[in-house]
Structure 1
Amino acid sequence: MRNHILDVLKTIEKDYNIKILFACESGSRAWGVPSKDSDYDVRFIYVHQKDWYLSIDQKRDVIEVPKHDPISIPVDELLDVSGWELAKALRLFRKSNPPLVEWLRSGIVYYQSGKAIDTLRELSGSIYSPVSGIHHYLNMAKGNYREYLQSPSVKIKKYFYVLRPILAAKWIKKYNTIPAMEFKELVEDIIPNGVLKEEVMVLLKRKIAGDELDLELRIEAINQFIEGEISRLEAYAKTLNVQIEDPTEQLNRLFRDTLEEAWR
């Protein structure tokens, strides 16, 4: 699959006349919780040629393959590929956009070119906003909990849509830093030894084994943990007021330097 992903990325570059700076895995594979049927969620950052930016009209700054944007080779049905144009990515980085921050920390990197991504990784530690991170993960957990875990029977995989953001938010509360990517690392650090951790680890093993779509009775110990943590994190989020120095000028310079480097 890796070779196919690289072929798709090269084709995207050719078909859309762009340069891809970085491509990684996102979602369950990057979290270390894939099942045998998990999709490949490939995310990338790209840059256009200079003339694309010298226009009075705004243009689309996202590429989504094969959902909305066709390419000239067939794409595997398990492959979901989408990318953000560099200026868009930098604007989101300025806001500590959690999905983008996760891309930069993914342990599965398919491609990287130039200095921009390493520079962003270096900057991320100093300009990361715990406020943005907490609110993002808390809202994700609340929304997914309401949608997926209220019925008497639930699918195993849906627990991870709630547990991971809860644990990521608790990591930020504990360390005031970007949370770990791997789900297992979050569990080991955040959940104390006991019944709850045992229940979660059993779920993890079953998900990886391929049982993730099975409908089963709701696990009350996990639901109680989630409800309690949502309440506590909501209260904590209201107390946060962290000021981050505006990195706009640094990011402007990075954008200009990367444009020169990519098309030199």
Structure 2
Amino acid sequence: MRQEIDNLFKDIDEIPLFYIESGSRLWGIASPDSDYDVRGFHLQSKKQYFDFKKHRDIIEVMDGDFDFVSYDIDKMFGLLLKSNPTVFEWIRANIIYFNELPDWTNFRQDVITNFDFKALFHHYISLAKGNINLMETGKKFTYKTAFYCIRGLLSADLATRQIIPELLIDDLFKQFDNDNDVLKIAKETLDRKKSQKEKEEVIESDKQKILNAIKEFTSQLAPKEPNSSNKRQKLESVLTDYSFNLKMKFYV
């Protein structure tokens, strides 16, 4: 994968910084036909950075099972400042293909320490509700849809308790002391997802049981929304200092 990334940046001006595996492979739930979802961020070239014209802030490549998305560092840090849970997963990823960032471990820990659990909660609840709608309307009731929905609910539950959800699914399961109905279904659907193709439909006799358990769990979480951590100012300081030092390293 490192070679794929190196080849991609041979023909463009941007400077690659950090790339990881996202999605099902990162979570340990890949199906036999899962794509490689490579995500990360780059720095504009010195020429682009000092140009008066605005340059693109995202690079997207889809080539077979290679799905690549890269954000300009300013866009990436702007999302981190808003405690965007998607990019928060990226910086916590354990499958790292490319990392040219200085003092990464300390920076990563500073971001994690100052992240907002309220933002995490809303992201995962919203993710779950979107998948519930797909299942209720019959548009998509696959094992993948059901599992992604439940993973979101379990992560939201942990956010209500100010606990950062683990990315690897086996580790996420271990964060719960007892097997509730949703957790039991998660384990069952995970086994089916891993062994079947991505678009495998849930068998008809199980659909209502799964949907009822998911909706009940969602309703229980709604009143537990956590308060904001109020650490935005500290997080902004961390991101500002790191961005300044990084740009000094590459541009001066």
Question: TM-score normalized by structure 1?
Answer: 0.85
Q: How does 1:117-128 map to 2 (within 5 A)?
A: 117-128=104-115
Q: Which residue of 1 aligns with 2:242?
A: 254
Structural RMSD (CA): 2.3
Indicate conservation of the 8 Å contact 2:17/2:101, yes or no. Answer: yes
Q: Which residue of 2 aligns with 1:144?
A: 131
Q: 1:104 aligns with which of 81, 86, 91?
A: 91
Deviations 1:142-183 (A, max 9, x none): 111101344398221111221111111111112x13211012
Identical pairs, percent:
26
1:94 matches 2:90: no
Q: 2:167 aligns with which of 174, 181, 195?
A: 181
Q: Which residue of 1 aligns with 2:186?
A: 200
Indicate conservation of the 8 Å contact 1:39/1:78, yes or no. Answer: yes
- Quote the Cα distance in structure 2 between the aligned partners of 1:138 and 1:195: 18
- Aligned to 2:9, the other structure's residue is in SS state helix
Q: How does 1:148-227 map to 2 (within 5 A)?
A: 148-151=135-138, 154-174=141-161, 176-190=162-176, 192-193=178-179, 196-215=182-201, 216-217=203-204, 218-227=206-215
Ranges in structure 2 where 5+ consecutive residues have no aligned partner = none
- Which AA in structure 1 matches 2:3? D
- Which AA in structure 2 matches 1:227? K
Cα distance 1:154–1:251, how it changes in 2: closer, same or farther (>3 A)? closer
Q: How does 1:41-60 map to 2 (within 5 A)?
A: 41-60=37-56
Per the TM alignment, residue 260 of structure 1 is displaced from its structure 2 partner at its CA by: 2.8
Deviations 1:124-150 (A, max 9, x none): 232100111111111111111101344
Per the TM alignment, residue 97 of structure 1 is displaced from its structure 2 partner at its CA by: 1.0
Ranges in structure 1 where 5+ consecutive residues have no aligned partner = 67-74
Deviations 1:77-124 (A, max 9, x none): 111001111111111111111111101111211111131643431212
Cα distance 1:211–1:56, how it changes in 2: closer, same or farther (>3 A)? closer
- Quote the Cα distance in structure 2 between the aligned partners of 1:152 and 1:50: 47
Q: How many residues align?
A: 249
Cα distance 1:193–1:260, how it changes in 2: closer, same or farther (>3 A)? same
Deviations 1:173-216 (A, max 9, x none): 12x13211012222332372366544332221121112542222
